[in-house]
Amino acid sequence: MILQSGIGMMQVMTACDGNDKKMKFDNNRSGSIRRITVFCSSRDCYSEEMARLIRKIAHYLTDNGIDLVYGGAKSGIMGLLTDNVLESGGSVTGVLPPKKTNFEKVHTGLTKSITAGSLSERKEMMIAKADAVLVLPGGIGTMDEFFEVLVMVNSFQLITIPVAVLNCQGFYDHIFSWMDQCTEKNMMAPASEMFAILKTFDDFCRWMGAASETLNLNSSPDLLI
């Protein structure tokens, strides 16, 4: 089942951190998704079924002229997705962690790379560049990025962009069960109001189509800065 959610597209174009610095959200307003930010694992932990699905997503992005924005690593699901986008002629922007952290090996074939000043800034930059956000299987780093998006989109309504989680082989079932428990105890809004849950490549294609259509209907040039 797909939870058709997280598709409203009215976007607040700036946000402030504790130092009152403004972050510009350069999400496109042209009426279609042109850049998608993907959060996922940099570890080699995927099954063959998951790998096939990721390859299909990579070719979909290239075939539809959608640029990939991600964390810049060359290993794991990150590397698999990036390799397939690049091999099929697509464009990839890697937003790299600060050099002092050096915890991921950087992909050497990136179309463009940006080094963030901090891990917090790295997340902000990836979100700022997104017309949509897709979460693939990952660990605590991926969950940190995912929840950052949910907080920005739902709790503080700094931005509203389509967000989806690919729940391949039930990878995130336990996370969703925890969210359901939080909703039952009135600690958070229902997950169905915040993001879409995808299980198959067809789910992904339908979500992308719906998100692009909504972006086109709600484009508002007077919001640009």
The residue with tokens 């039952």 is: 184
Residues in contact with 213: Cβ distance below 8 Å, sequence separation at least 6, in sequence order: none
Q: Around Cβ 140, how many Cβ atoms within 10 Å? A: 8
Task: Return the pLDDT at 29.
Answer: 44
The whole-number average pLDDT for the span 67-89 is 95
> Is residue 9's pLDDT more than 90?
no
| Percent of the chain whose pLDDT exceeds 90 | 63
The whole-number average pLDDT for the span 48-63 is 95
137-195 pLDDT tens trace: 999 999 999 999 998 877 666 677 899 999 999 999 999 999 999 999 999 989 988 99
Task: Return the pLDDT at 20.
Answer: 38
Tokens at residue 171, please?
């990878």
Separation between Cα atoms, residue 94 and residue 179, nearest integer Å? 30
What does DSSP assign to residue 105? P
Question: Residues 225, 13: contact at Cβ < 8 Å?
Answer: yes
Q: Structure pTM? A: 0.82
Task: Return the pLDDT at 147.
Answer: 94
32/168: higher pLDDT: 168
> Is residue 216's pLDDT more than 80?
no
82-91 pLDDT tens trace: 999 999 999 9
Task: Return the pLDDT at 32.
Answer: 81
Task: Return the pLDDT at 14.
Answer: 28
Separation between Cα atoms, residue 112 and residue 101, nearest integer Å? 20
Q: How many degrees, rounded to 5, is the angle at CA 186 between CA 182 and CA 190?
A: 65
Question: Residues 115, 99: contact at Cβ < 8 Å?
Answer: yes
Instruction: Choose among 70, 163, 56, 59: nearest CA to 122.
Output: 70
Task: Return the pLDDT at 103.
Answer: 64
Instruction: Tell me if residue 124 falls in helix, strand or coil.
Output: helix
Separation between Cα atoms, residue 29 and residue 215, nearest integer Å? 7
Residue 213 binned pLDDT confidence (cut-offs 50, 70, 90): confident
Q: Structural domains in the chain?
A: 32-214 (3.40.50.450)
